[in-house]
Structure 1
Amino acid sequence: MDLNQIIATERVRWRRAFFIFASLLTAISAFYLALGELTIFPFWQLSDIEQQLLLQLRMPRLVSALTIGASLAVAGAILQTLLANPLAEPGIIGISGGSSLGMVVVMFGLPWFATPLGFMVGAFLGALLFTLLLVFVASKLKLNTSRLLLVGVALGILSSAVVTWAFYFSDDMNLRQLLYWLMGNLAGNQWYQLFIVVLVLPVLVWLTSQASNLDKLMLGESHAKQLGLDITKMRRLMIICAALLVGSSVALGGVIGFVGLIVPHLIRLKFGYDHRYLLPLSAMAGAGLVALADLVARMSLSSGELPVGVVTTTIGAPIFIWMLVKNHDYR
């Protein structure tokens, strides 16, 4: 088989993968909108109550779930490439911890601002602040990728310590709210909160356009420099983009773990390393995973709902272990 035939075969394979992922995402979205305490089907013959339920509750929540899943998965793919570590995730360099810390500051330091919008702003600014701090330290100390990872881990530990202090001094109401936030929660999301999507979409599009540069980073920093890539600038931009994606996700639904680890890792195992396809497939798979997890969270209990972050971990961990066992030679 010559080179042209190999390229043609790979294109057909990727197109088939795109079609399958898009079809699954569409099916999950349809079931998400239809299922609940009140089943809505078909969508074109709705009563007034069904219209309100669909348009005011389920649709904004679905958009939130899709945005969160795509953002976390793409952020995970970027960080795994940037840190040359297939097990990296957004939380490992302190970004998720910064978001949690921002939410804690709003809850205990600015109680007059402790509204859904205030928590969103606090989570977003916390992620951005930790990211800028990480970039500043890396720039001043001229850190390589390994040391950058260690600084991120230290920032994550620092944020965890502050959140632990918040647990200790919180009253029952604040404690319950903080716990629910840290476990992930999409209940009550409204259309006005989805202005964050306007921030997320351009970042996702731009990251996809940087696929060739990300492929160069996969070769190692020295080879990437020889190919003309500005490693320092690229690393800063990638970390800031990851912060925007993770901060937006935490602002919309709290801390939802495991998506940024499991999704891009499994996509690489199955489909390879080409970022032209890795990023879009990760976005679709992450969106579908969070939407499916939130559907399970809504449907599992008759008297309430489970935290979506717990569901993503429960779904993802066995799959992750199975894939590692099946692909034990993966590096």
Structure 2
Amino acid sequence: MEFTQLLNRRQQRWTRFGCLVSILLVVFSVIYLLVGEVFISPFQALSPLQEQLILQLRLPRLLAAIAVGASLAVSGAVLQVLLGNVLAEPGVLGISGGASVMMVLVMFFMPAFATPIGFMIAAVVGALAFTLLLVSIAKAMRLTTTKLLLVGVALGILSGAVVTWAFYFSDDLSLRQLMYWLMGSIGAASWYHHTLTLILLPVVLWLCLKGRVLDKLMMGEQHAKQLGVDINEVRWKLIGAVSLLVGGAVALGGVIGFVGLVVPHLLRLALGSENRFLIPLSAIAGAGLVVFADLVARTALDSAELPLGVVTTSIGAPIFIWMLVRNHDSR
């Protein structure tokens, strides 16, 4: 009886927090549509200019922020289970860098495919290659948290070196495009780019429904097998889904770091590790974080716009350092 009551209280806590985060996402979204270089009052009828401003500029960008935030947060949560490492995250582990490298290669050597869908395919291939490499190394060598992070940092440095060479040989137009991807920005998002969103959101929803399977994986492979989980099939499906989300997020908004690390890890610290609740809540909280960060990026300066990736890194890096220190002290 007491155990049942405890489970009910934990579920109620997840539900209350989910409602709170959903309300914050709605509030941030409304503010996002109203605030900017031109303020739009919610108490007045929209002029044709204001209507165009919302429908053609702010709304596509808002939806891009939601898609990117949800994709990165869910990817981070799944990677943390897949690698058995609470510090796993696409940006820190170099997966986002792998996606950006493939996009650079397409930009320079296959310009005919330099379209949103072409970039999406290239980014997914790069993310998949780096994810497979990380999972293979982690499983084969049974890496500790520190060593896995070092491998991820090394892969990130490798991808950075490739992009630096691209900078060296690029012309002015390519250079501006590269800067866009590296610094992270959804400023150029349009309705045309949301063909990517139509691919990303079903994958996010599918992963949200895999929470119980992820809970079984957290018990260890042997226990998961005894509970009827086909480890190899599930692992490949999860790797494919994560690669698709990371690749799509990079293709849509460039390299945006720390969202996949900060959101699921803080939710685990605050509420627990039940993935059937954690994954959906990570999607909502990740979307809210990126919407808030892009709102700051748009409005912090009067005459310019901050890169979104810089804002998320400024928020996430101090939290990441705290998490490393906390993880070290708990040993």
Q: 2 CA distance for matches of 1:154 and 1:319?
A: 21
Which amino acid is 1:26 matched to? V
Q: Do 2:99 and 2:247's aligned partners in 1 also have CA atoms closer than 8 Å?
A: yes
- The offset of 1:130, in angstroms, is 4.6
**Which residue of structure 1 lines up, in the alignment, with residue 255 of structure 2?**
255
Deviation at 1:241, TM superposition (A): 0.6
Moved more, 85-94 or 317-326: 317-326
- CA change 1:116–1:205 in 2 (3 A) is closer
- Deviation at residue 25 of structure 1 after TM alignment: 0.6
- Does the CA contact (< 8 Å) of 2:91 and 2:256 recur in 1? no
Shift of 1:9: 1.4
State how far apart, in whole Å, the 1-side matches of 2:221 and 2:280 are.
24
Q: 1:80 to 1:18 in 2, by over 3 A?
A: same
**Corresponding residue pairs, total:** 328
Superimposed CA distance per residue, residues 50-104 of structure 1 (whole angstroms, 9 cap, x where no aligned partner): 0000000000000000000000000000000111111111135543122101221
Distance (Å, rounded) in 2 between the aligned partners of 1:323 and 1:164:
30
User: Are the counterparts in 2 of residues 264 and 278 from structure 1 also a CA contact under 8 Å?
Assistant: yes
Aligned-pair CA distance for 1:170: 2.2
Q: Secondary structure at the match of 1:197?
A: helix
The correspondence of residues 58-73 of structure 1 with structure 2, limited to 5 A, is: 58-73=58-73
| Equivalent residue letter for 2:193 | Q
Match of 2:311 in 1: 311
Aligned residues: CA RMSD: 2.9
Task: Tell whether 2:283 aligns with 1:283.
Answer: yes
Judge conservation of contact 1:95–1:130 (CA < 8 Å) in 2: yes
Deviation at 1:134, TM superposition (A): 4.0
Give the counterpart letter for 2:71 in structure 1. Answer: S
* Paired letter, 2:264: P
2:167 partner SS: helix
- Stretches of structure 2 that go unaligned for 5 or more consecutive residues are none
The one-letter amino acid paired with 2:42 is P
Instruction: Find the aligned partners of 1:203 and 1:74 in 2 and give their Cα distance.
Output: 10
TM-score, normalised by the number of residues in structure 1: 0.88
The answer on 1:180 being equivalent to 2:180 is yes
Q: 1:15 to 1:51 in 2, by over 3 A?
A: same
Secondary structure of the corresponding residue to residue 90 of structure 1:
coil
Aligned residue for 1:189, secondary structure, equals coil
Contact 1:215 1:274 in 2 (8 A): yes
Aligned 8 A contact 1:83 1:145 in 2? no
Alpha-carbon shift at residue 154 of structure 1 (Å): 6.2
Q: Per the alignment, in what secondary structure is the counterpart of residue 273 of structure 1?
A: coil
SS at match of 1:91: coil
Please identify, of 55-64 and 163-172, the stretch whose mean Cα deviation from structure 2 is larger. 163-172
The letter for the 2-side match of 1:235 is: R
Q: Which amino acid aligns with 2:204?
A: L
**For the residues of structure 2 that align with 1:234 and 1:43, how far apart are their CA atoms?**
50
Give the equivalent residue in structure 2 for 1:169: 169
Which runs of no fewer than 5 residues in structure 1 stay unpaired?
none
Secondary structure at the aligned position of 2:188 is classed as: coil
1:112 CA displacement: 4.3
TM-score, normalised to structure 2, is: 0.88
Task: Report the Cα offset of residue 142 of structure 1.
Answer: 8.2
CA distance in 1, matches of 2:309, 2:165: 22
What do residues 292-331 of structure 1 show as CA deviations (whole Å, max 9, x unaligned)?
A: 1111111122222111000001122334556777898768
- Percent identical among aligned pairs is 60
Q: Show the counterpart of 1:218.
A: 218
Question: Does structure 2 retain, via aligned residues, the 8 Å contact 1:75–1:242?
Answer: yes
Tell me the SS of whatever aligns to 2:91: helix
Aligned to 1:206: 206
